[in-house]
Structure 1
Amino acid sequence: MNQSEPLRIVHILRAPMGGVLRHVRDLALAHAKLGHSVGIICDASGPAGYNETLLERLEPHLSLGITRTAMSRSVGPSDISSAMKIRNLIKDLRPDVVHGHGAKGGVYARACGSIIRTDHGRPARLYSPHGGSLHFDASSKNGKVYFQIEKVLERMTDCLCFVAEFEANTYRQKIGTPKCPSRVIYNGLAEDEFEPVTPADNAADFLFIGEMRMLKGPDLMLRALSRLKAEGAQEISAVMIGEGPDRDDIHAMIKERNLQTNVTLRPPMPARIAFSLARTVVMPSRAEAMPYIVLEALAAQRPLIATNVGGIPEIFGKAKDFLIEPDVDRLTARMRLALENPEDFKSRMPDHDTLKAEFSIDTMSNWVLEAYHKAKSRRK
């Protein structure tokens, strides 16, 4: 197996936003710098602003370009026409490796990658769930359908790449022990992201940054803010940054709880700029895989309130006992502590040097590249 051999790599993801886009961007840039030809296929639509800017800045570095084609969020008849288009796109790009990210990206990468042949032969097919369908309850109707689809697609998978041990364990519990090769490869950050960020003089008390979905817990933060305000913290302040399907509901909730003067909504922006806008970051997610925003906040040495879900305990390591359940009572108490005793709160954060040693882009990209070469070798 020659790991210096240049590869043609195509990433497929539906929504070009959030942690999945960040993950794909980092891999694409790292592998392009090593001389590999890299391209991306993603949904034609997406929230305007920061995510689109990321794609525009990324495209000049990708010799296979960024191709946009419609991919619906839900399962439906349009998936058939989307699959046909994506099959033709993959065939034209002639990849050695097709890497699907998220539920929809994973379907298209493996199903379409299994029915094409190029001068390279059939491409190696890899899949990273990034949570995706694994968030569903195994006893629910949707969960049963999606997990059965995952079992079928596993036969078309040359390697499963999980971003956390939690994700790998969830897959085993809900779908079964993988019959194809699998490995856990943590997300990583660049060297300069471990430099501290200092909050601005007029920084708010709290910051929420992420996709505006109830799964991420923005409603929990608003309820906690409302309680703290009722206790007497009339001037409590927060910034909420992001876009997503539940943004209108969040906006309505701010009005219902009379928090208009306490909460400022902002569009997506780079995380390190956002960190300067508040003294404490709040990540009240109900479910996660390996969230970048937790890594980014801790790397920037920002105090962080996070929940004990997904791969977050793996990030916190020895400090994982300071995590809370996604519950409004516990969140309110932790936010109160951050307000009343900030120095004690900061002392509970994970060790910065350990974090830097375990979560780097170089480590992540090297392990993923090794997975590509092994999968390609098995294809031959």
Structure 2
Amino acid sequence: MRDLIDAQIDAGHQVGVVCDATTGGDFEEALLSGMQDKLALGLNRIAMQRQIGPGDAIAAIRSYKAIKTMQPDVLHGHGAKGGTYARIFGSALRLSGKRVARFYSPHGGSLHYDPATMAGRVIFLIEKIMERMTDRIIFVSAFERSIYTSKIGTPHCTSALIYNGLTDGDFEPVGPDRDAADFLFIGELRTLKGPDIFIDALAQASTQSGNVMTAVIVGDGAERANLEKQTVVAGINAHVRFLKPMKAREAFRLATVVVIPSRAEALPYIVLEALAAGRPVITSRIGGIPEILGDDSSALVRPDAEDLARKMVAVLSDMAAYRAALPDRNTLRQRFSVQMMAAQLESEYFAALDP
């Protein structure tokens, strides 16, 4: 989001942000504070709970007031709730005579529901109805688009596939420190991101190889205390360091291999960031990740501890061969640049405003 905003401002646009106020910690607060002076339309933090609940009414009212004050030409909602707010409030602003383009980027959320359940059927029906208030759906991976199509149907509104992108600075190589651990997990400490899988796999890999393997876990979240206990139960707590959130490129110096053991993803930035920095990765074969690495990449594993542990042992046994099999950084730069992402998105914005 920050990279995209910088690119949009450089292109001469005025940008504003409405986002949740309850998630994140000091690190995220610092990042948002650094953006505030750039945002001509303002930064509005509003408490938004992840699940549907009674607090949504208050969040919706506050969000609408903030958006009405901003008077944007484009409302781009990310995730299920962001997409709902952008489309409903954009439609409300249209009733007052303002032309507003209403954009939606699904990021998991409602797409995680099972269409065989009552909850899934209701959610997908709402998604279908919301298409009538949508000018564009922007997918960040072909996988995400295929899930949307299989569960909700082919969009009746216009849609586009625009990959996430990185800045030129992200492609500068980052080497490991002298005392770097073997493996790094970086991300939110919650079940969806698979930190528990990472810990179990580390313990199994140490047993399989007969060598003590070390790790650094960078991040925070509701599961942190449970994960710390898990390392104790597994007998590896002396070999695992837990650190607070930090910039990805700083974290990459702390370990030799970056591991992304997520149970669900769309097109995660951390995979792109690690590869762009020249760091070897092991990652789950889920979501749009194979679109980055290639379907046959040796870096892809099932999101379970056994498969991940085997790969950890194999990677450390022949690091040179493993690195040679990963995508070339120059090829990644051509496909996943923030300049390309911003230009494609800008084109969609203008097309929606002047169909």
TM over 0.5: yes
Number of the residue aligned with 2:8? 31
- Give the CA deviation at 1:182: 0.1
Number of the residue aligned with 1:103? 80
Q: Structure 2 matches for 1:146-225, cutoff 5 A? A: 146-225=123-202
Contact 2:15 2:40 in 1 (8 A): yes
Superimposed CA distance per residue, residues 85-110 of structure 1 (whole angstroms, 9 cap, x where no aligned partner): 21121111111010001111111111
Contact 2:139 2:162 in 1 (8 A): yes
Q: Give, in whole Å, the separation in 2 of the partners of 1:372 and 1:275.
A: 35
> What TM-score does the superposition give when structure 2 sets the normalisation length?
0.96
> What TM-score does the superposition give when structure 1 sets the normalisation length?
0.89
Q: Structure 2 matches for 1:308-327, cutoff 5 A? A: 308-317=285-294, 320=297, 322-327=299-304
Contact 1:187 1:290 in 2 (8 A): yes
SS of alignment partner, residue 8 of structure 2 = helix
Q: Give, in whole Å, the separation in 1 of the partners of 2:71 and 2:36.
A: 18
Superimposed CA distance per residue, residues 338-372 of structure 1 (whole angstroms, 9 cap, x where no aligned partner): 22211122122112221111000000000011111
Contact 1:207 1:275 in 2 (8 A): yes
Aligned with residue 267 of structure 2, among 285, 290, 297 = 290
SS of alignment partner, residue 15 of structure 2 = strand
Quick one: which amino acid aligns to residue 351 of structure 1? D
Q: Give, in whole Å, the separation in 2 of the partners of 1:228 and 1:324.
A: 14
Number of the residue aligned with 2:222? 245
Which region of structure 1 is more displaced relative to structure 2, 217-226 or 178-187?
217-226
- Which ranges in structure 2 are unaligned for 5 or more consecutive residues? none
Aligned with residue 93 of structure 2, among 113, 116, 138 = 116
Contact 2:201 2:308 in 1 (8 A): yes
Confirm whether residue 137 of structure 1 aligns to residue 118 of structure 2: no
Contact 1:212 1:242 in 2 (8 A): yes
Identity of aligned residues (%): 46
Number of the residue aligned with 1:93? 70
SS of alignment partner, residue 177 of structure 1 = coil
- Which ranges in structure 1 are unaligned for 5 or more consecutive residues? 1-23
Quick one: which amino acid aligns to residue 194 of structure 2? G
SS of alignment partner, residue 115 of structure 1 = helix
Q: Structure 2 matches for 1:300-315, cutoff 5 A? A: 300-315=277-292
Contact 2:195 2:227 in 1 (8 A): yes
Contact 2:208 2:313 in 1 (8 A): no
Superimposed CA distance per residue, residues 140-191 of structure 1 (whole angstroms, 9 cap, x where no aligned partner): 3433232222112111111000001111111000111000000000000011
What root-mean-square deviation, in Å, do the aligned CA atoms of Structure 1 and Structure 2 show? Answer: 1.6
